Structure 1
């Protein structure tokens, strides 16, 4: 004590200060240990990002989960256990290079069917895009004010390593080729040869303006009324899915009649006890493309071309870009649309879909379209 007093003066003050310093050091050690146990791994980051997509009702959540599991997690177990913040651009480059070097898997049960005549560039581009999004999510997830993060993993991403790897070129060209009116007429007549429920589903997609299959086909009976279909649009960068309402015009009701007369599943778009899957419905259109192109009646097409054709030909009828975006629920990210405009535009949608149905009926019956039927699809507002 004499030595302490001679060196530090007041013994009580010194001992209290030393005890406080030791306590602070112990607390720092405990905090470091807690942070270490909460430090998220690369695999936990990928899973957390998928969980966030699912919670926000994003349509692509299942696809992202499959891509991560199939092309990243299964092939790189050594990277999966490392802290997410330690992953470098070189690590992401390794993941992408290995993916590009692999061959596409076969299709069907047991992956025994012949593989597609393609490479892995499109898949690699998708994986790269979602990796960038996952690391971006990991950089700010623990700071979110909208959820309890006290027990969640901390990723603490400072620099997004996936952005250091250049994006693959020429992988997102899209299906931009439109069918001619004559080719669309051939498709409508071909769809009449399918079983009644399949005809109604496929024609319904077209008569409703070329809707996204994922949104329309999952509609349940609770989402329908006598004059309305209630879709949910979770596509894109929305923080929350929004309502997408479609009016059921008299002609569309006639097209969908086989589905509403016999309620055999959880929703109208069913061919069994479950709603038809988008890939099943899509195959009906690709089969039509093969059959009609093989007969020399059209070029080959898939449903992606049908969606493009619908918007292209609706534009040719004088249906404005704004009304087409309301019908197809295209992204509207401006302040006015996101925060203020709550009008449903059902009247404008109905007028446009009535005109579109008349045009399609003319194509189906090979009649000449009367341009005098085109009317102004806007209402005068003060």
Structure 2
């Protein structure tokens, strides 16, 4: 190592020094005497290729003029703290600032977008929401893998434009519906974290993200991908479908009859029926289509004579009632849908299992069943303060009557809806 060489006096105090290293390089220092001791603060290396008049640090280091400016800045900061101990106070403040920066960086690494998405899907799973697997898959394929740099950002720094880019890429892959689902899941994740700031308890894991804005909420969905299927099966199609499955033998036929005779429940919810949720005259499903971050809502469906017979033929044992491995796992929703298509064959053009649900509602609407009772039967959600908080009636008698009517309509027998109040009076 070479000796220190003073280059110039720095105003108001201290000086700029340079030291030549054994490697041939030169390092600049700011030198000051504080409390009777000489202190040297490193500035940086000398850039021999820089313009002598350059006042800015380059990628390789400092010109002499740039080093002088840096030393003047250090001297000025020292002067501001001189009354408090000068260099010692300055060094302590820098030490605290570095510690805070390290802690802040560590905290941000724990609260990245990827961490938020993982915490949100874990939150859904803990609530028993079936959507946790779908959300986790969409996040992996359309956020974490294609956008690793954005996923590594602190969640609170992600912008609306970055979320829109994710949606746009998914849309360009020909996955319009998935693009909208991605937006919905991102919006729900941010809203859950944002709401945690005002919650008294229950969402502690999200408070550290310090989310105050929701970037996904400022984006717009692709409306063309949100159009529902408005092709419910006609009454003739519904009767044709029933004719194909009413005598279909084995487990397959029993499952298809149970699905239709309970009112065309959502297939994903039906196949998740647990044996413990079967009563002598009803079954209970759990509807996870409610508000984000809330637990699935129990949805009870009465069993008519025909539906009870179909359920018995499914031979429920173990944990899951609709199963091909003695209840260890449930039947896949896609399998039930494929069995329905297979049973229909070429009888109904463009048949899809999801059209059964809308076909049931259309059939019942044609029989003058009220919208409210149809919604209660198919668990379309309960709207309004009165319905959600004050109406505790389970509508089991009304649902049972409608399911009896449904069977009569399917077998093409004349049927009439009896007013519940009139029936009770009788």
TM over 0.5, shorter chain: yes
Q: How far 1:376 moved relative to its partner?
A: 2.2
The answer to whether 1:347 aligns with 2:397 is yes
The answer to whether 1:137 aligns with 2:206 is no
- Checking the alignment, whether the CA contact within 8 Å between 1:348 and 1:378 is kept in structure 2 is no
Partner residue in 2 for 1:214: 268
Q: Alignment partner of 1:229: what SS?
A: strand
Instruction: Identify, as 1 or 2, the structure richer in strand.
Output: 2
Q: Alignment partner of 2:299: what SS?
A: strand
1:182-261 aligned at under 5 Å gives the runs 182-192=236-246, 194-237=248-291, 239-259=294-314
Count the aligned residue pairs: 332
Q: How far 1:351 moved relative to its partner?
A: 1.4
Partner residue in 1 for 2:44: none
Which fold has the larger relative contact order, with Cα–Cα distance below 8 Å and residues 6 or more apart in sequence? 1
Partner residue in 2 for 1:279: 334
Q: How far 1:84 moved relative to its partner?
A: 0.9
Q: How far 1:381 moved relative to its partner?
A: 8.9
Q: Alignment partner of 2:208: what SS?
A: coil
**Match for 2:414 among 354, 363, 370?**
370
Q: How far 1:265 moved relative to its partner?
A: 4.6
Q: How far 1:74 moved relative to its partner?
A: 1.1
1:85-124 aligned at under 5 Å gives the runs 85-102=156-173, 119-124=174-179
- Unaligned runs of 5+ residues in structure 1 are 1-13, 16-22, 103-118, 363-368
- For 1:181 and 1:276, the matched residues in 2 are separated by 28
**Match for 1:52 among 120, 123, 134?**
123
CA deviation vs aligned residue, 1:297-322 (integer Å, no higher than 9, x gap): 32212121110000110111222111
The answer to whether 1:76 aligns with 2:147 is yes
1:300-319 aligned at under 5 Å gives the runs 300-319=350-369
- Checking the alignment, whether the CA contact within 8 Å between 2:192 and 2:206 is kept in structure 1 is no
- For 1:46 and 1:31, the matched residues in 2 are separated by 26
- For 1:176 and 1:284, the matched residues in 2 are separated by 22
Partner residue in 2 for 1:113: none
The answer to whether 1:329 aligns with 2:398 is no
- For 2:190 and 2:401, the matched residues in 1 are separated by 45
- Checking the alignment, whether the CA contact within 8 Å between 2:341 and 2:352 is kept in structure 1 is yes
Q: How far 1:33 moved relative to its partner?
A: 5.8
Partner residue in 1 for 2:320: 267
Partner residue in 2 for 1:172: 226
- Unaligned runs of 5+ residues in structure 2 are 1-82, 85-91
- For 1:143 and 1:132, the matched residues in 2 are separated by 17
Q: Alignment partner of 2:225: what SS?
A: coil
Q: How far 1:26 moved relative to its partner?
A: 9.6
- Checking the alignment, whether the CA contact within 8 Å between 1:352 and 1:377 is kept in structure 2 is no
- Checking the alignment, whether the CA contact within 8 Å between 1:38 and 1:152 is kept in structure 2 is no
Q: How far 1:379 moved relative to its partner?
A: 5.6
Q: How far 1:32 moved relative to its partner?
A: 7.1
Task: Pick closer, same or farther for the CA change 1:340–1:27 going to 2, 3 Å.
Answer: farther
- For 1:38 and 1:153, the matched residues in 2 are separated by 12
Q: Alignment partner of 2:350: what SS?
A: coil
- For 1:41 and 1:218, the matched residues in 2 are separated by 33
Q: How far 1:25 moved relative to its partner?
A: 11
Task: Pick closer, same or farther for the CA change 1:86–1:335 going to 2, 3 Å.
Answer: same
- For 1:308 and 1:66, the matched residues in 2 are separated by 28
Q: Alignment partner of 2:369: what SS?
A: coil
What TM-score results when the alignment is normalised by the length of structure 2? 0.70
- For 1:327 and 1:27, the matched residues in 2 are separated by 63
Q: How far 1:139 moved relative to its partner?
A: 2.1
Q: How far 1:28 moved relative to its partner?
A: 9.3
RMSD: 3.0
What TM-score results when the alignment is normalised by the length of structure 1? 0.78
Partner residue in 1 for 2:36: none
- Checking the alignment, whether the CA contact within 8 Å between 1:179 and 1:306 is kept in structure 2 is yes
